[in-house]
Structure 1
Amino acid sequence: MSANVNVKEILAANEDYAGAFGDKGALSHDPARRFAIVTCMDCRLDPAKFTGLSEGDAHVIRNAGGRVTEDAIRSLLISYEMLGTNEWFIIQHTHCGMQGFTNDEARARFAANADRHGIDANAAHYIDFMPISGTIEENLVRDVHRLRTHPLVPASITIHGYIYDVHTGRLIVCEEAEKIGAAT
């Protein structure tokens, strides 16, 4: 699909959306349900649908793999300290594209395509692409642990760990992540 077609479709969809916008401009930037979600950017995931969210309910932070990156931590801390969330959900998913490659493989791919794309592939050596190693469950536990042990994350915040099954649409609780993420 060409960029022009995408632009036209997005602008047309936005026109429809704006036409039915109603009073959504009056929504608070503080999430009504006082929680935040970190999940994957995968196009098969629609966190508003699989969690029953409406606009204004929660903060949704998306990145490749639904990883607890430094930027995700920054966003969660702002969500808590400035905007009042007190519960966080880390939701990763089955059959994630972040499984099955390493940082070195990602860097090699940038290097192989550098000339064709006119980029400096050396810059990729400074990025941790945070591929998923081991199982999704192991990765989720590591990410919840990373968040729970961050010095700016209060013990009073509950951190949940779930896996979204892309074949069934169901959320599966990760018991070990739940234990680590429990508020004290």
Structure 2
Amino acid sequence: MSTVPQSILQANEKYAASFAKPSIPRKNFLVVTCLDPRIQPYEQMGLQFGECGVLRNAGGTAPNALPNIIVAQNFGLRDIAIVHHTDCGLTHITHQLIRDAVQEANGAEAAKTVDQFEFHEFKDVPGSVKRDVEYLARHPAIRKGTQITGWVYDVETGKVEDVVVS
């Protein structure tokens, strides 16, 4: 049996003992970023916990985040920061590699289900940021007047680079 549930409960006891209810986001913007644990948008962007919304997915891709972005905009998170990063896992994979890994782990029927997904893999990180900013800027469901910025976080230096502003 996994010790993960027990370790989660123990860690939560410590957290809850000094819990301070976070505020509703005050910056009125949303960060869309990768699920890579090296990405810590609050610390890396000089924000306090709770000051903005954060959406994560593999690669931080806008198309995969779109339904959640639409919901977030209706809760007041108007502007969007797309943050991709160097050494991203999506620069090292392809749809076929993912499909093959699923087939090896779970069989051919499971591998077929992978074909319903688009992983939006990329090689050029700044290019992927520009692609995502453009995608959101022209998407009809994104609120008019939304400022969309694009950034690349360097996992080696800790610095962010401003790539594009819509």
- The one-letter code of the counterpart of 1:155 is K
Separation in 2, partners of 1:8, 1:119:
33
Q: Deviations over 1:130-159 (max 9, x none)?
A: 212x31011111111111110122331100
Find 1:168's aligned residue among 151, 157, 161. 157
Q: Which entry has the higher C-alpha Rg, 1 or 2?
A: 1
Q: Which residue of 1 aligns with 2:17?
A: 19
- How high is the sequence identity, in percent, across the aligned residues? 30
Q: Which residue of 2 aligns with 1:137?
A: 126
**2:29 and 2:80 in contact (8 A); partners too:** yes
Following superposition, the deviation at residue 127 of structure 1 comes to 1.5
Following superposition, the deviation at residue 119 of structure 1 comes to 6.4
Separation in 2, partners of 1:119, 1:169:
42
Q: Which residue of 1 aligns with 2:71?
A: 78
- Runs (5+) with no aligned partner, structure 1: none
Following superposition, the deviation at residue 54 of structure 1 comes to 2.5
Separation in 1, partners of 2:128, 2:94:
14
TM-score, normalization by structure 2: 0.90
- Runs (5+) with no aligned partner, structure 2: none
Find 1:158's aligned residue among 147, 151, 156. 147
Q: Which residue of 2 aligns with 1:35?
A: 29
Q: Which residue of 2 aligns with 1:57?
A: 51
**2:78 and 2:143 in contact (8 A); partners too:** no
Separation in 2, partners of 1:52, 1:18:
24
Following superposition, the deviation at residue 19 of structure 1 comes to 0.8
- Which residues in structure 2 correspond to 1:81-120 (within 5 Å)? 81=74, 83-115=75-107, 120=110
User: What's the secondary structure of 1:163's corresponding residue?
Assistant: strand
TM-score, normalization by structure 1: 0.82
Q: 1:167 to 1:57 in 2, by over 3 A?
A: same
Separation in 1, partners of 2:109, 2:7:
30
Following superposition, the deviation at residue 78 of structure 1 comes to 1.6
Count of aligned positions: 166
